[in-house]
A = this chain, B = another copy of it.
């Protein structure tokens, strides 16, 4: 396989990694962002365990989409690479994946609870409750654990009949969030949105434990304001 120039993709993925740091989603070296070049058949991902403030774009590692071998870069890729690969393989429409251990989202993942859609901030980003996976089983954890994590994410979205566009986020039980989007920047923005709505939901439930989700018509209105053919939020040609 010939590797194309990776400068642009590395810059974009580097920026997504910095975005989650600046947004306060990262403690120590937890978390990672990646982006895909489908024509070249590879992804670019953060190296494992490198401090974010030392990370340079050229440190990002390129990994083959099909078999996961390193095709460019001097460092070891993130240990979560197989999870990223599983998502890219299953969802052709996504261009970036982000994983964090952001506190509020992790709390929901550790509680084993799906994050309910309690308001319009949620509905602006996620088309319904953000699912939580089932707990991973011993053989999954003992074997190819990170690949199995990807499989369990896909199983969960499939079980809920959710597309990656409708639901650009998931909570892996007892672990934390993965988010995705058309590119790594959008995936980072979804990680930020998820942490924010997770914190809002925790505080809402503390005030009103029995609160229910917003009605479907409000969820639809807000999600469609920002996503799909009828979107009217943001800048388009007037």
Q: Which positions in A face B, CB cutoff 8 Å? A: 27-28, 30, 47-50, 70, 75-76, 79, 101, 103-104, 106-113, 118-121, 124, 135-136, 138, 141-142, 145, 174-176, 189, 192-193, 196, 199-208, 211, 214-215, 217-218, 221, 225, 232-236, 238
B193 and A28 form a contact (CB under 8 A): yes
B106 and A110 form a contact (CB under 8 A): no
Number of copies: 4
B142 and A214 form a contact (CB under 8 A): no
Q: Return chain B residues, CB-CB under 8 Å to A217.
A: 138, 141-142
Known: A103-B196, A110-B201, A110-B204. 8 other contacts (CB 8 A): A30-B124, A76-B238, A103-B203, A106-B200, A113-B207, A118-B174, A202-B207, A206-B206
Q: Return chain B residues, CB-CB under 8 Å to A142.
A: 217, 221
B215 and A138 form a contact (CB under 8 A): yes
Q: Which 9 A-B pairs have the closest CB atoms?
A: A49-B234, A107-B203, A111-B208, A111-B207, A110-B204, A110-B119, A110-B118, A120-B175, A138-B217
Q: Return chain B residues, CB-CB under 8 Å to A27.
A: 192-193, 196
